[in-house]
Structures are given as C-alpha cells and as structure tokens.
Structure 1
Amino acid sequence: MAILNADLHCHSNVSDGTLSPEQLAARASANGVELWALTDHDEVGGQRRAMAAASALGLPYLTGTEISITFAGETVHIVGLGFDADDPQLKQGLAATRGGREARAREMAAGLAVVGVKDAFEGALRYVGNPELISRTHFARHLVETGVCNDTYEVFRRFLVEGKPGYVPHRWAKLGDAVRWISEAGGIAVVAHPGRYKFTPTEEYALFTEFVAHGGRGVEVVTGSHSAAEYLKYADLAQELGLLASRGSDFHAPGESRTDLGALPWLPGTLAPVWEALADRVIAPLDAATASS
C-alpha cells in the first residue's frame, strides 16, 4: 500500500484556504488522489462537509486537522489524522487554540499601519471564511490584491516574518496537549513539514524525541514545502525513530500553493505509511454516506 496517491494535508476556506471543502474534494478526485484528508488549522468544522463530498465522489477519506503549537519559541504544526471529529476534548482544545487570533491580527494591522499599510485588518477580513481563524495568509492576500506586493511570498518576506513590521508572535497549544487531543480521539499525530522550521539540529532532535515521548507517531516526509533532499532526510529520520510516514501537498489555493493536490512524488516504499496504521479509520464512501445521513 505504500504506492498510493494519498494527500493528507490541505486547507479549505474554513481556515486559510480559498476553496470550499466540496471544491477541494472535487479537485482531489480530479487529480487522481486515492485517499484524502482535509486538515484545516485548529478546526474540524469542515469535516462533515469534506466527508460527504468525498463520499459523493467515491473518494476514501480520513478526518484531519492541523494544530498550531509552540516549541522552542517556534510555531510548529502537528497534523492529526483518523480521529473522531466529534470528540469533545479535541474540539475544546482546538477552540482554545483558536482563541487570541483576533487580538493578534489587530496587533499585526497596527504594525503594518506604522509603515503606511492602512486598514489591513479590515482588508484581511474580506478573505476570511472563518473569522476565528484570521491569519497571516489573509493579510498576505489583501496586500497582494491592493498592489502592495506582487505575491504572497513577497508579503511574508517584507512584512510578516520575525523582525518585520507586521509580525506578532502567538503562544499556541503545547506539544503534549496537541498529541494527547489527537491520540485520545482515536487518531495519529504527525509532525507537519519539519523542513520548514528554523531549528538547529539539536532543537529539531529535541522536538522529535519529545513528540515521540508524548505518543506522537508520524512525520510528513513528502510534502509541498520539502525539497528532494528533505524527502531523503526525513525518510531517514522516520526510519531511525520508527515513525510512520505521511504525504500531503499542504494545498491552500490555486495559483498560490507550490504543489497541487495529488501532485507530490511517491512516498519511498521503504517507509511505513501512516495510512496503513489507520486502515480501520479510513471512511469509505458508503460509510460516509451513512454517517452524513
């Protein structure tokens, strides 16, 4: 089963994507995805819609979310897969993690105003499907649309990373809490796109050893923001630590994301895919139709 076009990381307009769960399901199916998960940031509000849309298309589905945590002063993302989306503890934890985003966004807008970018909060809100989840991505889209920058990558470089005028840090969930919420809801926790974090080798090793100690079981090896060298690096790490390997595009929007749904290289066959450990959690189209009725 290692050779499977699974895409287990993407975002809808329930968080910071631009497409609806239904549109994402259609895009995944059209692009040849054979197992799909919607992993909105700190939110499971789109899961029922994603499940129903996948069912209508004959697309097997895994529940998903991406939880923001803070580790060694850096924001890290933990993907949860195959959990009970109605689990009360998980939903409560995600709600608490979402809290504080509006205050942070208003601070970001204030910082941007100092350098001449006015009304950024109101502008960003125009791109938000879920006001509880306003984020840097929404500010980036506003600054591109208004001509301040040419693309979202330029926005982040000039305004929204540490040391720039629109950057405001946020204290997210704790690593142990995120892993526990996912695990106790019946799912598997996965470190998302580890190549993106600006950790020293010592800090990265500390992240993974603590993650494993808390019960974390997987790592994204093949993902839209990894280079070919990083595929190999994290494949080796997965084998060294006995972690399950995951695969996901991290797709957010057409024309904006580096990698489209279903367009990733294959997961190396020497690894243990996370979906094999979640075989009993995969929602087949008939199961989804029954659950949504």
Structure 2
Amino acid sequence: MTQLLNADLHCHSVVSDGTLTPEALAERAKGNGVELWALTDHDEIGGLQRARDAAKSQGMGYLTGAEISVTFLHQTVHIVGLGFDADNTDLREGLRRTRGGRQERAMEMADGLAKVGIKDAYEGALKFVGNPELISRTHFARFLVESGVCKETNEVFRKYLTEGKPGYVPHRWALLKDAIHWITGADGMAIIAHPARYKFTPNEEFALFTEFKGHGGQGVEVVTGSHSVAEFGIYANTAKEFGLAASRGSDFHSPDESHTELGTLPPLPAGLTPVWELLSARIQ
C-alpha cells in the first residue's frame, strides 16, 4: 500500500449523526474510487458489522473505526480509533458511558431553544435520529432547517448551537487518556481528528499533541474535509514533529450537508507515514 492509496478513514452513518446507512456509504465510497474505508460513528460501534459486510461486498479494504469525544482544556476534541477489536469489553463499556449523557444534554438544549421561541425542538430533533442514544446538535440543526428557522445547518450552529448561544449546552466527555487507552487496549490506533478545528492557542495545541503522544496516540488527520490546503501542510509538519502517522478522511455526514465527498480528497503530502501502513495487519 502506498501513500497514493485512496483511503477514506472518517465518515458517519445514521447510527450516529450521518444521513446514510452503512451500506449506502460503502456503495458511495466505492463509486468514488475508495480502496480502503472505515466507518467512524460518534462514540458508537453498532454499525461496524454492517459496514464490514458492505465493504466486503463492494470489494474495498476495511478497518474498524469510531470517533470518540473527549474533553481537553475545556474543549471537545475528537479522537478517531482505527483497526481495533470491536468486541473488546473495555472499549465497548467506555463508549457506552460516553454516550450516556447525550439525552439529558439534548433536553437542556431544547429548553434553551424554547426560551427564544423555538418549541418542541427535542421532539423535532428525534425525527432525524437513527440512534436515540446519540442525539446531537446536528439533529437539532436539521430540525431547525426543516422548520424554516434557518436556511442551512451551518447557520443554525452560528445562531443557536455554539457557546454563548441559546441552545448550547456543554457536555463532559471522556478524558483524553481514557479514549486512547480504550483504543490501544483493543489493539487499535488512536488518531487526533481534524486538529485545525479546535480553538487552541499554539501552546495549548502543543500540550494536546504532547499528552496525546504520551498516552500512546500514534496518528493525526492531516488531509481531511475540515482542513484547508494550507492546513494540510501545517499538520504534515506537526506529524513529522511529533513522530505521528498521517491519516486521511472526508468526515462525510450527508450528501446535502458535507462539503467534501467521500473519496475525493487529495493524497497525503510526501514524506509522511500513512496510518494504513501501520495498520496493514488489521485491514479486513
């Protein structure tokens, strides 16, 4: 496997906050030339067997995956796990606990929206949820678009669902070290997802990468739908600085919402170690 492999190792299905089934995602990925694929639903591995079977039927290589929410320096950071044993008890239990606070948080979000005149948002959001355990801001955003409050989901986030806005409620996720240990304890690789999205100062970002590496994290998403071309280069250098492997993934959620289509990202920059080289024994 080479650096030029069309690998898409970050996307979401209806099992978390995507709009397509694992089977439809696999077909879409194959149609766009993806050769190695992973489904990385938020804090959930319930779709992985379907994803594996769909990838096999499409003739694609497949890695198990999940995107775990953690709290670091009072911000939510996402850690992608790849190539792990999906039957590992500690991993499954850790993800179950992480999912546990979402419903209570969602009801608080609905209360905040009701105070500014948006009624029944919790019930409205549930219409868009494939898995009620994983109700999220994205589901609220889809309801507010459907009901005509906003024209698109990005507008909903700006006006209602980010810090300081009426529907924003923080959630206490797992610790960084816990998520990394769940993944590595299940023989997988832990990867920092889309690092440019976080609002860290340079010193805080250095602390994130240092602690991540110290706990056994091995990779970082360099080429992702959340990064600009300039940020591909910045995080290629970060990968080299910290001795991390480089990952590639669209972060695709929906044909109507995602800016980056499955399988359409450019290759990884030269001089990096692709995560799939280190995970070759875990590819199914």
* TM-score, structure 2 as length reference: 0.99
In structure 2, the residue matched to 1:189 is 190
What is the aligned length?
283
- After superposition, give the CA deviation of every residue in 1:138-176 in whole Å (9 maximum; x if it has no partner): 000000011000000000000000000000000000000
- After superposition, give the CA deviation of every residue in 1:100-128 in whole Å (9 maximum; x if it has no partner): 10000000000000001100000000000
In structure 2, the residue matched to 1:257 is 258
CA deviation after TM superposition for structure 1 residue 257, in Å:
0.5
Aligned partners of 2:226, 2:84: CA distance in 1, in Å? Answer: 25
CA deviation after TM superposition for structure 1 residue 2, in Å:
0.6
Report if the CA contact (8 A) 1:8-1:248 is conserved: yes
Aligned partners of 1:187, 1:105: CA distance in 2, in Å? Answer: 31
In structure 1, the residue matched to 2:49 is 48
Read off the aligned partner of 1:93 and give its amino acid letter: G
- After superposition, give the CA deviation of every residue in 1:214-272 in whole Å (9 maximum; x if it has no partner): 00000000000101111000000000110000000000000200101001111112100
- After superposition, give the CA deviation of every residue in 1:24-64 in whole Å (9 maximum; x if it has no partner): 00000001001000000000000000000011111110000
In structure 2, the residue matched to 1:108 is 109
Aligned partners of 1:154, 1:249: CA distance in 2, in Å? Answer: 21
Read off the aligned partner of 1:97 and give its amino acid letter: T
Q: How does 1:109-148 map to 2 (within 5 A)?
A: 109-148=110-149
Unmatched segments (≥5 aa) in structure 2: none
- After superposition, give the CA deviation of every residue in 1:164-216 in whole Å (9 maximum; x if it has no partner): 00000000000000000000101000000000000000100000000000000
* Structure 1 SS opposite 2:62: coil
After superposition, the CA RMSD in angstroms is: 0.4
In structure 1, the residue matched to 2:98 is 97
In structure 2, the residue matched to 1:69 is 70
In structure 2, the residue matched to 1:161 is 162
Report if the CA contact (8 A) 1:3-1:269 is conserved: no
Aligned partners of 1:11, 1:120: CA distance in 2, in Å? Answer: 23
Aligned partners of 1:108, 1:23: CA distance in 2, in Å? Answer: 31
Read off the aligned partner of 2:46 and give its amino acid letter: G
Read off the aligned partner of 2:233 and give its amino acid letter: L
Read off the aligned partner of 1:236 and give its amino acid letter: N
In structure 2, the residue matched to 1:81 is 82
Aligned partners of 2:92, 2:280: CA distance in 1, in Å? Answer: 23
Read off the aligned partner of 2:138 and give its amino acid letter: T
Report if the CA contact (8 A) 1:220-1:248 is conserved: yes
Moved over 3 A (4+): none
* TM-score, structure 1 as length reference: 0.96
